[in-house]
Structure 1
């Protein structure tokens, strides 16, 4: 067969394959997209905006001037894979969406948009995602009840609403729940659905064919999903996602209609409003003093004004802190009603240069209706701040993706969040305490699982935060007491690099017995940059619930540990406290938060000091700590700690609510 004939034969085979595939698609009932006619009309969009649903207010009138068609169900695997056959690799991931007739998941916003573009070109009609207004209008179908059919969700809709820490495999078969009055199935649950709009605040004015915001950080999703509480499936409930995010709880449905000609709203869709921050570089070194000092603790968690619109909940916890080049301090923490709640936001406060009072809390970071557990702040010393955070697909703090943002203007503004560990899985619960190694690498510690004995992991960036990787080799993350394993022993770890290049970590949980059989805080050493760890019993008492330690290297050289003498509830009374030395060399028993110093790379810790100046105070430690008395023998009994040493050599320690300031000279000075 000559070259020309061979080429023609190959072309004929290719054309025949494409024609056959197209014919099979058009004849395959699983690939057919049934469309419902949605009439033009008006409705009142939104809700009362109470509590965590603040973004549903104000209720406003919306008019949709043109009828449109909407897919009766969410797009299925068979329908989507006619466009992208490679997506079949996601079938059954985490036990979700196995069959042709199940809603497609693991699709990003751009994936959904590209599908619409492909279908439009294929059929010669305009297909697109629904606007948020079109979606709610179609969902309500003329109803102003909580759900389109009732005030509560009927039992038949509960087939996929199991709420478990590990996502439970369920059927995502479309069309198995009753249709609403417009003939649409699965508008409440099954999978969340991408909408066209950028997420942003509602406005009170009447709107016609609205298309949302001109710019934004997140794209709207609607409808709620499997493995999600019922309240997130309401007609008015608003959610959103980072556009490149994809996971097992979000898919999409489509509309057939021209794109609206309306102008988008010019209101900023950035939930975190820029803060007015001076940009003059501060000479931190002029504040260096050799005199020992310990300043009275002050609160940094300051409730915002009631009319500020900033969400503030009853539980404020898990802080991070850094210094800014302009002389300010910046602290962040999560605020939530429940630690596994989707209402969780990350709030921030600032202590201005030379100031003594922290500012009222402001919104620092929030992906709408996602759990935000785990935050870290890091100053690279070159004028750039990094913020790393966990982002859940729904609630709980187990299966998180990791995002990163950067600021080059002292935290006044931040870049859009981008995914640095996009898989929603374990080993991604960010812990405050990012470090930079002598190689110039960044190391970010993370809890390896949601349990108190699941250990900790690290992520490493060798290119100043552009990319990150987990050195874990995929072997079972076993913890073998007094042996080796693939995780750090304990959670909520603090990490330092030793002078020989090894990594040293101390943590909570996975306590180890010492030579006398007494349980101690575990110490983990890695000689291969986190691929494997060897475990030892340290000399320190273990800590427990509501407690998180700090471990860092001071600029003067020694290692600093800040932890707690015991757990005030879970420790037997006779075992509480530690022995400390006073100025005369006499020992006394102290209770609560203490500091320890090592001058030989963690081998010994000759200096231990209770973190109190001896002055009597009655303080509120917030979160799990609550109220406590500080005096010469009692310091804060528990709290989640984070710390940073600013260039003026001041150690800034934050617990769950309070900010402490002291220096190495004070730590070295015997208690009076």
Structure 2
């Protein structure tokens, strides 16, 4: 009765605060609410000296250099991660997230789906409640407390005991394991779940280590990402090591990250100065180029590599698999390309690299780091010059490994890609339909369209996201384009035309063809048709683009060299005399009537023999009069001078509309093939 009367007499604006207080009283007995006992059970971590970091092999490069750290004061740390019951005393509405993804349903399970700012707000609330300073641990405090005097990979030895294992592997769908805290033995400091259960937010901005001895370090003065530590359920064991470093965009929240608290004064260490995020120390010209439009004569420049391995001294991560490019032009005349590098496509080591072909240069520069959220899979990148002085970068970011549970982020640059804005989350749910595809377009209304694979499988479809306000807000339109890795153009009547890989449709003869999708409501719904083009498959991605001169350009492949039956390989082309010949590999097709017919089809080769390395899934191939590159993930841009720049997985091709429209000499084909 007294509780009811009290609530009815207060101002409505304070009801939530009173409810939180009362919930806290019920969840934590009165005996726990005094100054002598804390809401969160704590253990004292003694002051001490330790060596922080690791051997920094391969993808763990950010664990170096090992450096000495002195923690001059003891501090108290939560015995366990903050639980649902504890967090919901502060934020009752969080209860609605219990059980999401089949995880963390009970009071005594670690809270998840909390951002860095949520965790900080909880600490501030608890500080006011108890009259003591609560905060997140610094990265140094966390590693010191985790190691508990040990320099083995884990506080208890070289490997985690079997009872710590909670589906420690890469999974596309989280196994619904219990996140109940304190189910494994504590370390020698008395802390539970420092290896696994859930990742834990730390106070620091993520940044490189210094080799110098440090007193009470607090990390960087600024940055893009906040450190997380400890690894989680549904994560391979190596990410649970004491020295392993992870980080997240502070606004991000997902099913693998929670936090624990520290009760102590804020450390007095001086933050390390960190410069605003730049691609490199190289100067990038800001002089606007005067583009000279080239309509003729025909132009074809032999392909050159744009994936250039960096020098080891640059410390740029570079792995064996380089793939999935995007490209755009800059107002200063440069070309900017990005792609991922990884050992495994579902690996957390994946990094987005960049290279630049400066105006007038003959070779691309060595690769440098473009974008990386530490220990997250980064599948899917796109670039766009909006024609008004702004470059857009969109990327997928996984919660962990694989490429299914992605958020979408966006950055912009107004200085030709020298500096980029803070990564802003534009699709916050770690879910399907967020795997970014190169080929962002701007419609005649000025809207931006971004395509994303709608699922991780080869037979999934493509989602369409639209921004009507220059990238400030994005909406998933709900409809699905047939096939993955789709390309899209807007037709003159406002409809959208798209082609995709797989989800093939039989034509009137029963032969499977590449699917064509058309929408007359900006992607809310689609109609599907069999196109006249052969289907493509693994290791292949098409291009669909409206050229500056008006025609629509499709670049695709005649077949799949490993999956298409031999008697169905290649398609028929015509030479300058109208004679037919069979060609194989990458080709271009042109439509002058908004995709109804495609009268021009041409292999992308100048007929000269070359032995080339296509990188990615393509590897080595021979180019001649009837053979072009057989596979590759394609990306393209057309500069204001009308030159078409086409990237495959490793190579950069340059040609123009006049060259595409120029038939290959039949005599030349005959001579080269005999």
TM-score of the two chains, using structure 2 as the length reference:
0.95
Change in CA separation of 1:434 and 1:515 when aligned onto 2, cut-off 3 Å:
same
Distance, in Å, in 2 between the alignment partners of 1:219 and 1:548 is 35
Kindly provide the CA deviation profile for residues 285-318 of structure 1, in whole angstroms up to 9, marking residues without a partner as x: x252410011000000000001110000000000
Aligned residues of 1:213 and 1:269 also touching (Cα < 8 A): no
Distance, in Å, in 1 between the alignment partners of 2:6 and 2:146 is 53
Q: How does 1:296-445 map to 2 (within 5 A)?
A: 296-445=302-451
Shift in Å at residue 471 of structure 1? 1.1
* 2:196 is equivalent to residue 194 of structure 1: no
Aligned residues of 1:37 and 1:68 also touching (Cα < 8 A): yes
Distance, in Å, in 1 between the alignment partners of 2:96 and 2:149 is 40
Q: Which residue of 2 aligns with 1:664?
A: 657
Structure 1: state its 5+ residue gaps: 1-5, 473-485
Aligned residues of 2:277 and 2:419 also touching (Cα < 8 A): no
Distance, in Å, in 2 between the alignment partners of 1:122 and 1:621 is 62
* 2:600 is equivalent to residue 600 of structure 1: no
* 2:460 is equivalent to residue 454 of structure 1: yes
* 2:187 is equivalent to residue 185 of structure 1: no
Q: How does 1:564-579 map to 2 (within 5 A)?
A: 564-579=557-572
Shift in Å at residue 150 of structure 1? 1.2
Distance, in Å, in 1 between the alignment partners of 2:566 and 2:11 is 85
Match of 2:117 among 85, 99, 110: 110
Shift in Å at residue 355 of structure 1? 1.0
Shift in Å at residue 164 of structure 1? 1.9
Match of 1:648 among 617, 624, 641: 641
Distance, in Å, in 2 between the alignment partners of 1:157 and 1:283 is 62
> CA-atom RMSD, angstroms?
1.8
Distance, in Å, in 1 between the alignment partners of 2:20 and 2:298 is 79
* 2:129 is equivalent to residue 139 of structure 1: no
Aligned residues of 1:162 and 1:168 also touching (Cα < 8 A): no
Q: Which residue of 2 aligns with 1:588?
A: 581
Segment of structure 1 superposing worse, 24-33 or 287-296? 24-33
Kindly provide the CA deviation profile for residues 208-248 of structure 1, in whole angstroms up to 9, marking residues without a partner as x: 10000011110000000111110000000000000100111
Shift in Å at residue 161 of structure 1? 2.3
* 2:236 is equivalent to residue 237 of structure 1: no
Kindly provide the CA deviation profile for residues 547-570 of structure 1, in whole angstroms up to 9, marking residues without a partner as x: 000000001111000000000011
Q: Which residue of 2 aligns with 1:628?
A: 621
Structure 2: state its 5+ residue gaps: 666-674
Q: Which residue of 2 aligns with 1:87?
A: 94
- SS in structure 2 at match of 1:445: strand
* 2:262 is equivalent to residue 278 of structure 1: no
Q: Which residue of 2 aligns with 1:26?
A: 28
Distance, in Å, in 1 between the alignment partners of 2:28 and 2:435 is 46
Q: Which residue of 2 aligns with 1:3?
A: none
Distance, in Å, in 2 between the alignment partners of 1:18 and 1:490 is 49
Shift in Å at residue 32 of structure 1? 3.9
Shift in Å at residue 7 of structure 1? 10
Q: Which residue of 2 aligns with 1:71?
A: 78
Distance, in Å, in 2 between the alignment partners of 1:324 and 1:458 is 25
Change in CA separation of 1:22 and 1:346 when aligned onto 2, cut-off 3 Å:
closer
- SS in structure 1 at match of 2:94: helix
Shift in Å at residue 16 of structure 1? 8.8
Q: Which residue of 1 aligns with 2:9?
A: 10
Q: Which residue of 1 aligns with 2:233?
A: 226
- SS in structure 2 at match of 1:82: helix
Distance, in Å, in 1 between the alignment partners of 2:379 and 2:75 is 40
- SS in structure 2 at match of 1:470: strand
Distance, in Å, in 2 between the alignment partners of 1:462 and 1:129 is 39
Q: Which residue of 2 aligns with 1:251?
A: 258
Aligned residues of 2:399 and 2:430 also touching (Cα < 8 A): yes
Q: Which residue of 1 aligns with 2:107?
A: 100
Change in CA separation of 1:156 and 1:272 when aligned onto 2, cut-off 3 Å:
farther
Distance, in Å, in 2 between the alignment partners of 1:275 and 1:139 is 40
Change in CA separation of 1:303 and 1:17 when aligned onto 2, cut-off 3 Å:
closer
- SS in structure 1 at match of 2:164: helix
Q: How does 1:44-63 map to 2 (within 5 A)?
A: 44-63=51-70
- SS in structure 2 at match of 1:363: strand
Kindly provide the CA deviation profile for residues 79-103 of structure 1, in whole angstroms up to 9, marking residues without a partner as x: 0010111111111111111111010
* 2:41 is equivalent to residue 39 of structure 1: no
* 2:296 is equivalent to residue 294 of structure 1: no
Shift in Å at residue 25 of structure 1? 3.6
Aligned residues of 2:295 and 2:658 also touching (Cα < 8 A): no
Q: Which residue of 1 aligns with 2:542?
A: 549
Change in CA separation of 1:12 and 1:463 when aligned onto 2, cut-off 3 Å:
closer
Q: Which residue of 2 aligns with 1:475?
A: none
Distance, in Å, in 2 between the alignment partners of 1:8 and 1:75 is 28
How many residue pairs get matched? 653
Q: Which residue of 2 aligns with 1:559?
A: 552
Change in CA separation of 1:8 and 1:536 when aligned onto 2, cut-off 3 Å:
closer
- SS in structure 2 at match of 1:121: helix
Aligned residues of 1:271 and 1:363 also touching (Cα < 8 A): no
Change in CA separation of 1:149 and 1:19 when aligned onto 2, cut-off 3 Å:
closer
Aligned residues of 2:168 and 2:237 also touching (Cα < 8 A): yes
Distance, in Å, in 1 between the alignment partners of 2:40 and 2:633 is 52
Aligned residues of 1:274 and 1:412 also touching (Cα < 8 A): no
* 2:224 is equivalent to residue 217 of structure 1: yes
- SS in structure 2 at match of 1:117: helix
* 2:502 is equivalent to residue 509 of structure 1: yes
Distance, in Å, in 2 between the alignment partners of 1:178 and 1:347 is 42
- SS in structure 2 at match of 1:135: helix
Match of 1:265 among 265, 268, 272: 272
Distance, in Å, in 2 between the alignment partners of 1:261 and 1:333 is 41
Aligned residues of 2:498 and 2:517 also touching (Cα < 8 A): yes
Shift in Å at residue 611 of structure 1? 0.3
Change in CA separation of 1:155 and 1:271 when aligned onto 2, cut-off 3 Å:
farther
Kindly provide the CA deviation profile for residues 43-99 of structure 1, in whole angstroms up to 9, marking residues without a partner as x: 000001110000000000001000000000000000001011111111111111111
- SS in structure 2 at match of 1:115: helix
Shift in Å at residue 271 of structure 1? 7.6
Kindly provide the CA deviation profile for residues 600-633 of structure 1, in whole angstroms up to 9, marking residues without a partner as x: 1111100000000001000000010000000000
Shift in Å at residue 268 of structure 1? 3.5
Q: Which residue of 2 aligns with 1:469?
A: 475
- SS in structure 2 at match of 1:471: strand
Q: Which residue of 1 aligns with 2:668?
A: none
